[in-house]
A and B are shown apart, each in its own frame.
Chain A
């Protein structure tokens, strides 16, 4: 009995659970001191950051690519969401049914576009690269993704220009009142979409054959090859999935983040922050950390000011990196950094 209590205490005092408990306390304190919007904003952006970061973690875990261009897939999502939404709006004038259909179609189409771009990138760049080089794969792919990011940002600038392309009243419905707290319908719906997408991603990885293949490759590539898994196909699927969910997040947050060439920078920083906090390649941890980072951001910008919003999270991440390189939920101290 006492052994069980000791075990429970040990689990409770592990850095991972302490972080989660601390985050819950912070959320509670913030809500009491400042108002419920702290919680709402964290949940809305948290779900989306969790998705972008899960994509980053997935690609690192399965393909060993530290993706610097993940934010650009978010940008592709905002852009295609915007283009499709405005096209639908102009095609159907004054129709009532467009209220639901336009954002849903935009998000679905943007996800597909993101996934297609991801598959194309894997087909055109990473698959040939994998056949050509073996040495220094991580550093080389990192540089390649830096190049990709430069290309995507400037293609956007070149073709669609540098101005903000945002949409007001994305989900054109009156605000909801939950327990007397007014919540904008945009925020509410992007939380719902985020939760649905996370659940979908989880179910896909957990239950489908493709998801099992992805997990197998991330655990042991040679073993997966031996049991007859098509590694190249798994890589393509993984990259498409990762960029697809990033694009989904971009299209869902269109009312908060209007599309412009550099809109991907913020999600990129956040996704890396989340992934480092969770431990590289840990998809489940990335989901939890996504919400924690979003909460931390909301609290910092409200209580300390937006100027420090860019400094404090990064400083904390630096501390985590230096003190616990394997991440807060990492099991071993010697993590993926050391290979």
Chain B
């Protein structure tokens, strides 16, 4: 943890990153990392893909900007307005949708995002529509370095807060719900309550980080709410490793720089980077759900730095009615049988003693 913090602080002074342009990308990467952590808090724990994520953060961005413009308040104060709006939207969306299967919430959030984007585009008297809002910036400097530190601090606060929640009993409930909602319900957890809590917290941070976006780049158009931005956050979160929080945060940095490098070195091949990310997303989802976090965990285990920690449950009940989401495969053949999980979620083999 401390090493990560020091690395984050020293990053702008390590040789390739001294230039102003690269520090701008660093700030962008820290912001994207924050988004991916907040996204992973929902996708990786309660297993709901918030497909309107960009719209929630965009709503926070607009709320904070409008407050700053209309009231003339400092962005340092209004960002909490953005946080509040994001959380409020998330709370009501969650309340209305999270009784049902995760895909319902995903689709409602998606359409809500489209409506929000359409509204910001059309309510030109408030938002100036597609012309965009000139948002007051945090600082009156042209340097990107202070912004990088701001973004890194926000990433760190987001990560620490969410990690704290995840390690609390509530976090255990989130995981239980994410793995098997019926089983969680049977063990006395109120799935809807915990899911709404989780969704609200995630959207609160989305709104807050969205406010940073507005007051850093200074220009805000309805485009920030576009689904393509949600897809970008989703890719980073999934490649980083679902349910680890730190994986998505770390992944944002190589993602941003790889994208920039590919766009400048292969400018004759527009879209090549996204093709690669799409393929990587599918491969990771199918073959390696642990993502970058799982890979690093395995490497550290192999090198003997850490003992084999398993995060996956020790056993689970297969073939119950609740587990039938896969389309009923195996129903009847394994009815009610308890069997150890394969090491899909665990970093490395779990039966051997470390050398």
Q: Which residues of A contact B (CB under 8 A)?
A: 63-64, 66, 125, 128-130, 132-140, 142-144, 146-151, 153-155, 157-158, 162, 220-222, 261, 269, 272, 276, 307-308, 310-311, 314-315, 317-318, 321-322, 325, 336-339
Contacts and interface: CB of A to CB of B under 8 A. Distances in A.
Contacts of B234: 143, 146
Given A125-B282, A139-B102, A142-B106, 8 more contacts: A130-B326, A132-B287, A133-B286, A143-B285, A144-B281, A158-B275, A272-B111, A311-B115
Interface string B99-115: 11111101110111011
A64 to B, nearest CB: 5
Given A64-B325, A310-B114, A325 B282 contact: no
Interface stretch (B24-32, B138-146, B296-304, B329-337): B329-337
Interface in B52-98: 96
Given A125-B286, A142-B106, A317-B111, A135 B271 contact: no
B270 A162 contact: yes
B111 A314 contact: yes
B286 A132 contact: yes
B113 to A, nearest CB: 9
Nearest to B230: A146
A201 B122 CA distance: 39
Contacts, number: 154
Contact of A314 (B118, B277, B323): B118
B9 interface: no
Contacts of B269: 158
Q: Interface residues of B toward A: which range?
A: 35 or more
Interface of B: 47-49, 96, 99-104, 106-108, 110-112, 114-115, 118-119, 121-122, 178-180, 231, 234-235, 238, 269-272, 274-275, 277-279, 281-282, 285-287, 323-332
Nearest to A60: B103
B271 A128 contact: no
A336 B103 CA distance: 10
Nearest to B333: A222
Nearest to B321: A339
A137 B286 CA distance: 11
B103 A138 contact: yes
Contacts of B285: 140, 143-144, 147
